[in-house]
Amino acid sequence: MLEKERIFNMIEIRNLEKSFGSIKALNGLNLTVKQGEIYGFIGRNGAGKSTTMNIMAGLSKPDHGTCIIHQKDVKKITHPSELKIGYLPENPSFQGWLTAYETLEFLTGQSTKKEKRENIISLLEWVGLGKAKNRRVGGFSRGMKQRLGMACALIHDPELLILDEPTSALDPEGRSDLLSLIIDLKNKGKTIILSTHILSDVERICDRIGLIHDGKLIIEKQLSELMNDHNKPIIDVEYEDNLPSIFYERISKMKGVFNIEAFRNKLSIFIDDRKDVKEIMRAITLLDIQITCIQLRKNTLEDLFIKEVNGK
């Protein structure tokens, strides 16, 4: 294999710790991101995701441990630009009186060269802001600002992109467009870290995931392997009115049922073995409750997320 084709670790984090006063945001975090992959970084609010990404981007220094980016220790850099990273924060902010074009022009050093102008226009068109290039950013919607933030993250053609909730302000069509752009970037050899609460987006495009909880990584694995390891069937039951506790107890004692989650007028029943599904569904339909819908489905990343963080 040629040297340039060899896959290496784009990011290596070992025993990372970071505190803010008495609050310990990171507590011995270990994390690895490989070159050329889309890495889904997930966790509850306050789990330590944003703190970790700020350290990765060179915007904050850890108290202890190491964070190596592009084989450079973030503790030893003097300016974030040394890391060759594109960073999109959750809520990017801009000078409202500048246009979208002027915002990118400023980031490139206000160059007026024809090639730079063409690159800016091409990038704005690529993120879906071609028709808004001469509009002032102060009048942009939050979704448009996220698109502009994506363009800003890409303006210097970085090898590594760190994206914090990039689709949270977008409508379904905009989300789909941006996810397609992220896949396109991966196909061009970029390495991407994606942090989002929209776990279906993670399932759709990520190669590996890291689940952070209370400042520590509790899962890091290939997404396909993770879902295969937890490929347990689930029966969703929707019903009218409230479910008496006696029925909840009866269902939980059925052979093959290992967990039940209740939300409003819905039960999600987790089955240990697919061979028990038919009998469990038959037994549920015989209970004296008004069932409006019953369906069998596969485990999702959201199911796994809830199970893991609630069990800690």
Q: 7-29: per-residue pLDDT in tens?
A: 689 999 999 999 999 999 999 99
**If 0-12 CB within 10 Å is exposed, 13-18 middle and 19+ buried, where does residue 122 land?**
exposed
d(CA 170, CA 116): 28
Tallying the residues shown for the chain, one arrives at 312
User: pLDDT tens digits, residue range 56-67?
Assistant: 988 899 999 999
- Quick check: 154 pLDDT over 80? yes
Inter-residue contact 164 to 156 (CB < 8 Å): no
Least Cα distance to 308 among 229, 193, 198 occurs for 229
Contacts of 244 (CB under 8 A, 6+ apart): none
- Of 311 and 104, more confident: 104
204-235 pLDDT, tens digit each: 999 999 999 999 999 999 999 998 887 788 99
Question: Average pLDDT, stretch 124-146?
Answer: 93
* pLDDT higher than threshold 90 for residue 185: yes
Euclidean distance between CA atoms 143 and 129, whole angstroms: 11
Q: How far is CA 133 from the centre of its chain?
A: 28
Sorted by where each starts, the structural domains of the chain and their CATH numbers stand as: 9-222 (3.40.50.300), 232-311 (3.30.70.260)
Of all helices (H) and strands (E), which one includes residue 85? strand 85-88
Percent of the chain with pLDDT over 70: 96
Tens of pLDDT, residue by residue over 157-180, are 999 999 999 988 888 888 999 999
**What average pLDDT does the structure give for the chain?**
88
Contacts of 13 (CB under 8 A, 6+ apart): 29, 30, 31, 32, 52, 56, 65, 66, 67, 68
Q: What local confidence, expressed as pLDDT, does residue 112 receive?
A: 60
Position with higher pLDDT, 144 vs 1: 144
Helices marked H in the chain: 49-56, 100-107, 114-126, 142-154, 172-187, 199-205, 223-229, 245-252, 277-285, 301-310
Distance of alpha carbon 112 from alpha carbon 104, whole angstroms: 12
**Can you give the pTM of this predicted structure?**
0.85
Token pair belonging to 241: 């009115």
* Structure confidence at residue 5 as a pLDDT band (50, 70, 90): very low
